[in-house]
A and B are shown apart, each in its own frame.
Chain A
Amino acid sequence: MSGSLDPLLQREVVVCVGAGGVGKTTIAAAVALHAAMEGKRAIVLTIDPARRLATALGLSALDNQATRVPLSEGARGELWAMMLDLERSWDEFVGRTVAPERREAILRNRFYKTLSSSLAGSQEYIATQKLHEIHASGRYDLVVLDTPPTQNALDFLDAPRRILDFLGNDTLRSLLGPALRAGRLGFKLFQMGSNALLKGLSRLTGVETLEELARFLAEIQPTYDEFKERAARVHALLASDRAAFLLVTTARGGPVEEAIYFHRLLVEAGMPLAAVVANRVHPDHLGGLPLPSPEALADELLREGVVDQGQPPLSRRLHQTLVEARALARLDAANLERLEASTHPSPQVRVPRFSGDVYDLPALRTIADHLFARS
């Protein structure tokens, strides 16, 4: 089951997607590390890594700065890492795309704060913009993106489009037309008088909220085409054969269900899915061997000269441990069977659960060995 990710090294962009808590960051870092060992200039973009993993990669702050990770002697390429500050990325994005005279008003608007921090999908929009920017710089052969944890698997694919739909909504333009024309000049929404829709809405939200939104849309309008064009460029890149998606999951029931659902969305959206990676799979220590009885284990301990003592005796505790480990392995295997059947024919890669947390380069190498064929 290993070695199926080798074609990834021919791609320019790899996006790791999946539910929260499945180890996306670790897999993303392992892919970038392997590419670097194979001679590529690789960079991993991450959102919120575990502290020790961040330390291993030499990252100390969310600062949008690319940091070079020192590698061992044998490395032929370069490994870089960057922690994304999404709010700052939005500010930079506005700085690049919005004319200076409108910039301040936008940055101050309450709806901009929503857009840049909490609006579902805005993180995904800006993270993929950043990915595109770094890819376009030409400084790296491979850019690996560890996506932000989404509340809803749909967000990653859907939200950028939803934001654009909203900002460019024709009905909205005509509805708020007077506001858009009036710009910032003392517009009062209730002057629209007879519009029942707006009146009804204002009973829910209050008039001032609607006014502030109208102002925001008026400010952002001239930039809309730029927003849209950039989103289209990112989409074209991600849907092309220069990119690949890795769908990461664990073998637990919940994440597997989410992965199956997300797989369908990726396929429907025409995204190039390279593989489904099942991470932290409980190994079946016995392989195909039958479960030994406590007595058989006691005999073997005796033969090996290991003292079989304790309460309960060591042989019984070993037996119990094997029973439990087998239960965990079987449960994982059943979930993965369902995963494989439901995501056919996408290649499947399995990474076993390792003792200890994976937080240093040698441990990442071990993971990479399960993802790629060793050269």
Chain B
Amino acid sequence: MSLLDRRLHVNIGKGGVGKTTVTAALALLLAQRGKRVLVAEVRAQNVPAILGARGRGREIAQVAENLWAIALEPKASMREYALMRLHSKVLYRSIFENRLVASFLGFIPSLPELVMLGKVLHEVREGNWDAVVLDAPATGHGLTFLGVSRAVGQTIPAGPLRSETEWMQGLLEDPQATAIHLVAIPEELAVTETTELARAVRERLALPLGMLFLNRHVPERFSDAELEALSRGFAAPQLEAAADAARAHEDRARRSTRYEKQLRGLGLPLTTLPLLYPERAVGRREIETLAARIEAMA
């Protein structure tokens, strides 16, 4: 079975590596393959706009053919969870309209993360979707987020919350159902973090890793001899500008090659996604380019 057939896809990576762009591309690809797809973002909503659509925040909204989006918010997720448990809107209101309760709930270890992750996993479990794609928070927060059901299960006293964590953990750990994908770019800090992330996901969280996306990858274009010939300084300003641009390009390209090699050492299926040169912001066209690239490599 292909990795793309998993029911839950999670993208995690350092801040600023283009995780959300990759999430949009992966979700679009799955939708193009005819799956019913839900894409979930945590405390944010950017995927709909990237695809040229409008999301409706914490309400599920369709943003493309076969593709729906939701923004996870602690309050909305908490409300859903509470209604499920309390079976009473009156009781819910009497409790949750209390200002104190709001701050109290923020203090229960990891409760906001737990109810948001619970919402995602609930959507997977209910079988309303062929695939759910989660754009996890950046590295540290992302690990906390994915580890929350495990951490709460281990630390909180027995009670309703702990039993919630058990089915959640079962679904997350299931290698038939879940794939945790890593997103990186060819820069030192991001590559180091990706290596540490892979270890943390595999060993500390014991979750099934999926693909590794190396985003903003630049192919090599100039040989050493050419760079040498271009380095002596030209009187013609346009040629000198071209030489400058060539050096900057090749610097990025060679780091792409070097870090790609290093990341392949992690033993995950690696997909390189090219640096894009959009005329305006990254939009539907660029996302389709990336989706096609993932399709070709998968």
Q: What CA separation (Å) do A203 and B20 show in the bound complex?
A: 36
**Which residue of chain B is the closest to A173 with respect to CB atoms?**
B100
Cβ–Cβ < 8 Å partners of A304 in chain B: 234, 236, 239
The answer to whether A233 has its CB under 8 Å from any CB of chain B is no
Task: Indicate if the CB atoms of A200 and B94 lie closer than 8 Å.
Answer: yes
Task: Indicate if the CB atoms of A356 and B251 lie closer than 8 Å.
Answer: yes
The answer to whether A138 has its CB under 8 Å from any CB of chain B is no
**Which residue of chain A is the closest to B163 with respect to CB atoms?**
A206
The answer to whether B267 has its CB under 8 Å from any CB of chain A is no
The answer to whether A328 and B107 touch (CB under 8 A), given A22-B16, A171-B100, is: no
Q: Point out which of A20, A22, A169, A296 has the most chain B C-beta atoms below 10 A from its C-beta.
A: A20
Task: Indicate if the CB atoms of A20 and B188 lie closer than 8 Å.
Answer: no
Q: Which of A29-37, A57-65, A268-276, A317-325 contacts B (4 or more CB under 8 A)?
A: A317-325
Cβ-neighbour of B104 out of A52, A118, A172, A317 (below 8 A):
A172
The answer to whether B202 has its CB under 8 Å from any CB of chain A is no
Cβ–Cβ < 8 Å partners of A99 in chain B: none
Cβ–Cβ < 8 Å partners of A113 in chain B: 109
Task: Indicate if the CB atoms of B104 and A300 lie closer than 8 Å.
Answer: no
| Per-position binary interface string of chain A over residues 30-60, scored 1 when its CB falls under 8 Å from any chain B CB and 0 otherwise | 0000000000000000000011100000000
Task: Indicate if the CB atoms of B159 and A322 lie closer than 8 Å.
Answer: no
Q: What CA separation (Å) do A144 and B156 show in the bound complex?
A: 39
Q: Point out which of B95, B99, B190 has the most chain A C-beta atoms below 10 A from its C-beta.
A: B95
Task: Indicate if the CB atoms of B279 and A318 lie closer than 8 Å.
Answer: no
The answer to whether B14 has its CB under 8 Å from any CB of chain A is yes
The answer to whether A321 and B144 touch (CB under 8 A), given A52-B188, A209-B156, is: no
Q: Which of A180-188, A284-292, A339-347 contacts B (4 or more CB under 8 A)?
A: A284-292
The answer to whether B278 has its CB under 8 Å from any CB of chain A is yes
The answer to whether A1 has its CB under 8 Å from any CB of chain B is no
Cβ-neighbour of A20 out of B15, B108, B157, B238 (below 8 A):
B15
The answer to whether A241 has its CB under 8 Å from any CB of chain B is no
**B124 to A: closest C-beta gap in Å:** 22
Cβ-neighbour of A325 out of B98, B155, B248, B278 (below 8 A):
B248
**A209 to B: closest C-beta gap in Å:** 6
| Per-position binary interface string of chain A over residues 162-181, scored 1 when its CB falls under 8 Å from any chain B CB and 0 otherwise | 10011001011001000000
Cβ–Cβ < 8 Å partners of B108 in chain A: 205, 209, 213
Task: Indicate if the CB atoms of A314 and B226 lie closer than 8 Å.
Answer: yes
Cβ–Cβ < 8 Å partners of B229 in chain A: 306-307
Cβ–Cβ < 8 Å partners of A306 in chain B: 229-230
The answer to whether A255 has its CB under 8 Å from any CB of chain B is yes
The answer to whether B285 has its CB under 8 Å from any CB of chain A is no
Please report whether the interface of chain B is mostly helix, strand, loop or mixed according to DSSP. Answer: helix
Task: Indicate if the CB atoms of A324 and B277 lie closer than 8 Å.
Answer: yes
The answer to whether B32 has its CB under 8 Å from any CB of chain A is no
Task: Indicate if the CB atoms of A317 and B95 lie closer than 8 Å.
Answer: no
The answer to whether A212 and B157 touch (CB under 8 A), given A200-B86, A255-B16, is: yes
Q: What CA separation (Å) do A252 and B82 show in the bound complex?
A: 39
Task: Indicate if the CB atoms of A110 and B109 lie closer than 8 Å.
Answer: yes
The answer to whether A171 and B99 touch (CB under 8 A), given A206-B157, A357-B188, is: yes
**Which residue of chain B is the closest to A200 with respect to CB atoms?**
B95
The answer to whether B268 has its CB under 8 Å from any CB of chain A is no
Give residues 246-298 of B contacting A (CB, 8 Å). Answer: 246-249, 251, 277-282
The answer to whether A20 and B138 touch (CB under 8 A), given A209-B157, A250-B16, is: yes
The answer to whether A204 and B85 touch (CB under 8 A), given A149-B138, A196-B94, A285-B241, is: yes
Cβ-neighbour of B242 out of A205, A206, A292 (below 8 A):
A292
**Which residue of chain A is the closest to B162 with respect to CB atoms?**
A206
Task: Indicate if the CB atoms of B15 and A201 lie closer than 8 Å.
Answer: no
**B88 to A: closest C-beta gap in Å:** 9
Give residues 48-105 of B contacting A (CB, 8 Å). Answer: 81-82, 85-86, 91, 94-95, 98-101, 103-104
The answer to whether A70 has its CB under 8 Å from any CB of chain B is no
The answer to whether A205 and B239 touch (CB under 8 A), given A213-B108, A331-B280, is: no
Cβ-neighbour of A203 out of B46, B85, B109, B247 (below 8 A):
B85
Task: Indicate if the CB atoms of B251 and A355 lie closer than 8 Å.
Answer: yes
Q: What CA separation (Å) do A114 and B281 show in the bound complex?
A: 39
Cβ–Cβ < 8 Å partners of A303 in chain B: 236
Q: What CA separation (Å) do A296 and B76 show in the bound complex?
A: 60
Task: Indicate if the CB atoms of A118 and B282 lie closer than 8 Å.
Answer: no
**B241 to A: closest C-beta gap in Å:** 4
Q: Point out which of B138, B187, B245 has the most chain A C-beta atoms below 10 A from its C-beta.
A: B245
Q: What CA separation (Å) do A296 and B239 show in the bound complex?
A: 9
The answer to whether B170 has its CB under 8 Å from any CB of chain A is no
**B134 to A: closest C-beta gap in Å:** 15
Cβ–Cβ < 8 Å partners of B86 in chain A: 200, 203-204
The answer to whether A240 has its CB under 8 Å from any CB of chain B is no
Task: Indicate if the CB atoms of A289 and B109 lie closer than 8 Å.
Answer: no
Q: Point out which of A162, A303, A321 has the most chain B C-beta atoms below 10 A from its C-beta.
A: A321
Task: Indicate if the CB atoms of B17 and A21 lie closer than 8 Å.
Answer: yes
The answer to whether B160 has its CB under 8 Å from any CB of chain A is yes
The answer to whether A254 has its CB under 8 Å from any CB of chain B is yes
The answer to whether A192 has its CB under 8 Å from any CB of chain B is no
Cβ–Cβ < 8 Å partners of B106 in chain A: 119-120, 162, 166
Q: What CA separation (Å) do A135 and B148 show in the bound complex?
A: 37
Q: What CA separation (Å) do A174 and B140 show in the bound complex?
A: 36
**B218 to A: closest C-beta gap in Å:** 9
Task: Indicate if the CB atoms of B103 and A318 lie closer than 8 Å.
Answer: no
Task: Indicate if the CB atoms of B100 and A169 lie closer than 8 Å.
Answer: yes
Q: What CA separation (Å) do A98 and B192 show in the bound complex?
A: 39
New A-B pairs, 12, CB < 8 Å, besides A119-B106, A151-B43: A166-B103, A196-B95, A201-B101, A213-B108, A254-B16, A285-B241, A303-B236, A310-B223, A314-B226, A323-B277, A327-B279, A357-B189
Q: List 25 A-B pairs, Cβ < 8 Å.
A: A20-B15, A20-B138, A50-B189, A149-B140, A151-B141, A175-B100, A200-B86, A200-B94, A200-B95, A203-B160, A204-B81, A205-B156, A205-B159, A206-B156, A209-B108, A250-B16, A254-B16, A255-B16, A292-B239, A297-B239, A310-B223, A320-B221, A322-B245, A334-B280, A355-B251
